[in-house]
């Protein structure tokens, strides 16, 4: 007969943290959320660390280039969805890497023969008010001038006015020569009260812009996740079918870390994909794998060469894998067992492989529970889909603002590769739904509030780092009646009334 686990499969909602001693140093401002993203050897440090323990799910409705930029700005990492053509995914990665490099390639360019109408259309499309005017209208053409919103007045100019009639010509521009350091460029910006500084080569060809707002943004976002070139760190999802073509394209685009996107990772297909990466790139390319829910699955992927391992099957808010196939495990139970397996592996080999909790996060306090149970970081879909920076549009549904959110296994996404079992190249039945989530505004404000809750709870446990939380946390299973007790009860709640 089948093997039957002794313990029931539990969710995060079935646990509470028991407070520990809090010293006078246990202040939210003292809590650090730095955590490893990829594996490392004992005595060494991870080559990629997150400044906050959050990454965005590999989903069409969650992780595009805007999410990649916004989340890296907060200190996390986005995994650009892979259920799209290779070229489009690689281009998204390039946009994230180019956005915050200190020296930013210009993506708003026109020629001097274009018109004010072209300027306005480009501004609407890109959202950028600084437009480089080059001889051929290309990104790296000979720079002839620059147009900003200060160079024209729509109410007093014809839309047919040629750009050469109102641009600031090169002769009047303050610029820097290629080779200038970022520190020197910022000094020029500040000394001359500029918003943008073009950088040109010896032939006057445009190389980059340095923007004043990027300096300000960095000061306002000290947790920014940057590589050694001051570019945002970004990840990308891959599948086990076209990886031989997709991975080189993503690496060429500048991708920092890959992740195999699959509903179930305990498979030969994932091992083949990991073997390809190790044979072609050695350890220089970082790649996560999953998803798994037990010790055996962890050991399999660890020995296959995964840099991190995702835990969770069927716990996502839009996932119906458990309902359709009867496969999965309660997220809390899965996390606890896999965390023990990770620690055992570390003791045996001296190699620490971070684990990612993927799914099952309903409330903010579930984040802290997952981290206390051993997760090094969390992958979130529904949570991030609610924000302005997700790829979907904000819409009004019955008087409330919503954002669309659909699963990769839904009929809408048709991401058959994620559920691939080596058969026909199609989605035989759906394992995800198409839905709405309540709109939640900007990612910055939402993440700030959620992580303040995490930090506050860590202080209650006497922990100032995630490692301390793992070692000091005390968890208790709760009964159904104690869950009721934890909410508002035995009172008559006041209604929110608006006086007209």
Strand intervals (E) in 21-142 = 35-36, 40-41, 49-50, 54-56, 77-80, 109-110, 131-134
Select which of 299, 329, 386, 418 is catalytic: 418
Give the whole-angstrom CA distance, residue 159 versus residue 117: 5
Check residue 146 and report its DSSP letter: E
> Counting every residue, how long is the chain?
500
| Inter-residue contact 49 to 224 (CB < 8 Å) | no
Residue 98: left if φ>0, alpha if ψ -120 to 50, beta else—which one? Answer: alpha
3-state DSSP assignment of residue 200: strand
Exposed, middle or buried by CB within 10 Å (0-12, 13-18, 19+), for 257?
Answer: buried
Contact 77, 235 (CB under 8 A): yes
The sign one gets for the Cα dihedral 117, 122, 123, 128 is negative
Phi, psi of 211 (to 5 degrees): -110, 140
> What SS3 state is found at 252?
helix
Can 26 be counted among the known catalytic residues?
no
CA distances to 15, 181, 199 from 196, in Å:
52, 15, 10
| Known catalytic membership, residue 418 | yes
Give the tokens for residue 332: 């809390």
Instruction: Give the end-to-end CA distance of the chain in Å, rounded to a whole number.
Output: 68
Task: Kindly give, in sequence order, each residue whose CB lies less than 8 Å from that of residue 118, ignoring residues fewer than 6 positions away.
Answer: 110, 163
Sign of the CA dihedral with 114 first, then 115, 121, and 123 last: positive
| CA–CA separation, 57 and 406 (whole Å) | 12
Distance separating alpha carbons of residues 366 and 392, to the nearest angstrom? 25
Residue ranges in 24-85 assigned as alpha helix (H): 65-74
Run of H or E including 169:
strand 168-169
Catalytic residue among 77, 319, 356, 461: 319
Query: Does residue 308 contact residue 353 with C-beta atoms inside 8 Å?
Result: yes
Residue where the block lists tokens 């839904």: 410
Give every CB contact of residue 41 below 8 A, 6+ residues apart in sequence: 350, 351, 352
Catalytic residues: 319, 418
């Amino acid at each position: 007969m089948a093997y039957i686990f002794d313990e029931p499969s539990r969710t995060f909602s079935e646990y509470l943290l028991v407070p520990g001693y809090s010293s006078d140093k246990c202040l939210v401002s003292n809590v650090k959320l730095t955590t490893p993203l990829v594996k490392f050897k004992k005595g060494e440090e991870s080559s990629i660390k997150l400044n906050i323990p959050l990454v965005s799910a590999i989903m069409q409705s969650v992780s595009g280039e805007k999410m990649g930029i916004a989340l890296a700005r907060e200190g996390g990492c986005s995994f650009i969805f892979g259920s799209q053509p290779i070229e489009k995914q690689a281009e998204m990665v390039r946009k994230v890497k180019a956005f915050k490099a200190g020296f930013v390639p210009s993506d708003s360019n026109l020629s001097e023969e274009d018109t004010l109408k072209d300027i306005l259309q480009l501004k609407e499309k890109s959202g950028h008010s600084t437009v480089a005017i080059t001889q051929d209208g290309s990104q790296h053409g000979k720079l002839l001038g620059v147009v900003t919103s200060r160079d024209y007045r729509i109410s007093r100019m014809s839309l047919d006015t040629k750009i050469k009639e109102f641009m600031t010509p090169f002769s009047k521009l303050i610029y820097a020569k290629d080779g200038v350091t970022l520190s020197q460029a910022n000094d020029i910006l500040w000394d001359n009260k500029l918003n943008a500084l073009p950088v040109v080569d010896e032939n006057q060809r445009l190389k980059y812009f340095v923007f004043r707002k990027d300096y300000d943004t960095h000061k306002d976002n000290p947790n920014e996740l940057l590589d050694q070139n001051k570019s945002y760190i970004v990840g990308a999802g891959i599948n086990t079918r076209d990886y031989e073509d997709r991975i080189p394209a993503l690496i060429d685009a500048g991708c920092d870390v890959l992740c195999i996107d699959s509903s179930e990772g305990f498979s030969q297909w994932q091992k083949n994909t990991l073997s390809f990466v190790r044979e072609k790139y050695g350890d220089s390319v970082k790649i996560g794998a999953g998803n798994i829910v037990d010790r055996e699955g962890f050991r399999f992927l660890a020995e296959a060469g995964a840099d991190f391992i995702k835990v969770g099957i069927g716990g996502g808010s839009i996932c119906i894998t458990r309902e359709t196939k009867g496969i999965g495990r309660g997220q809390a139970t899965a996390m606890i067992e896999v965390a023990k397996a990770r620690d055992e592996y570390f003791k045996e080999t001296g190699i620490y492989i971070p684990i990612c909790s993927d799914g099952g996060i309903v409330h903010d306090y579930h984040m802290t529970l997952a981290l206390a149970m051993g997760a090094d970081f969390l992958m979130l879909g529904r949570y991030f889909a609610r924000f302005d920076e997700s790829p979907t549009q904000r819409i009004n549904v019955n008087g409330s603002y919503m954002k669309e959110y659909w699963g990769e296994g839904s009929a809408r996404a048709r991401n058959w590769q994620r559920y691939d079992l080596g058969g026909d190249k199609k989605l035989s039945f759906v394992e995800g739904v198409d839905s709405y989530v309540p709109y939640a505004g900007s990612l910055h404000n939402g993440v700030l509030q959620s992580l303040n809750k995490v930090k506050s709870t860590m202080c209650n446990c006497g922990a100032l780092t995630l490692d301390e939380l793992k070692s000091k946390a005390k968890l208790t299973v709760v009964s159904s009646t104690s869950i009721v007790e934890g909410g508002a009860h035995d009172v008559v709640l006041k209604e929110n009334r608006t006086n007209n």
